[in-house]
């Protein structure tokens, strides 16, 4: 199931959200996550959007992927990010979440969306290329991806 994130997700399953294990996340996200608290689930819906993919495991739900779009103050472009749990990669969720972020950006009237992807994340770079993003190696182990929407 894919759905929009809401404030209640901060206390996902009765405790502060830890939907993806630290081992699944790049080190820079791990270090920021601890200090950001509720910012992950409580935000300005005019400029920020997050969509999650989740599965049911018995009576519980488990978030297995997150797509996020943060629109710049000029409302012309926005930065997107997608993360999918290792156990669920290669099943189309990353593609679906990225495509949904494109749709949200189009609905908001943005001119462009962009992201920064680890260069060794070949699967995500392939998804972006399939969806029409232009790529540029930044030379520091990351690649800039950008899609012109209008």
Tokens of 3: 């759905």
Contact residues for 119 (Cβ-Cβ < 8 A; gap 6+): 125, 137, 141, 142, 143
135: pLDDT strictly greater than 90: yes
pLDDT at position 38 is 45
pLDDT at position 4 is 52
Average pLDDT, rounded, for the chain: 79
**Domains defined along the chain, listed by start:** 2-110 (3.40.630.30)
Tokens of 117: 């992807």
pLDDT tens string 42-88 = 556 678 888 888 888 888 888 888 899 999 999 999 999 999 988 88
Tokens 């749990």 correspond to 85
17: pLDDT strictly greater than 70: no
**Burial degree of 73 (CB within 10 A; 0-12, 13-18, 19+):** exposed
Could you tell me the maximum CA-CA distance found in the chain, to the nearest angstrom? 46
106: pLDDT strictly greater than 80: yes
Percent of the chain with pLDDT over 90: 51
């Amino acid at each position: 199931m894919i759905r929009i994130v809401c404030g209640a997700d901060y206390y996902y399953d009765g405790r502060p959200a830890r939907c993806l294990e630290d081992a699944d996340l790049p080190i820079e996200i791990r270090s920021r996550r601890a200090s950001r608290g509720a910012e992950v689930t409580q935000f300005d819906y005019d400029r920020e959007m997050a969509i999650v993919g989740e599965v049911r495991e018995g009576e519980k739900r488990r978030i297995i992927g997150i797509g996020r779009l943060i629109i710049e103050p000029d409302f012309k472009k926005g930065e997107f990010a997608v993360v999918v749990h290792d156990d669920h990669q290669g099943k189309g969720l990353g593609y679906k979440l990225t495509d949904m972020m494109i749709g949200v950006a189009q609905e908001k009237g943005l001119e462009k969306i962009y992201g920064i992807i680890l260069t060794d994340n070949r699967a995500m770079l392939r998804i972006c290329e399939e969806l029409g993003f232009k790529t540029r190696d930044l030379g520091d182990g990351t690649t800039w991806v950008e899609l012109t929407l209008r």
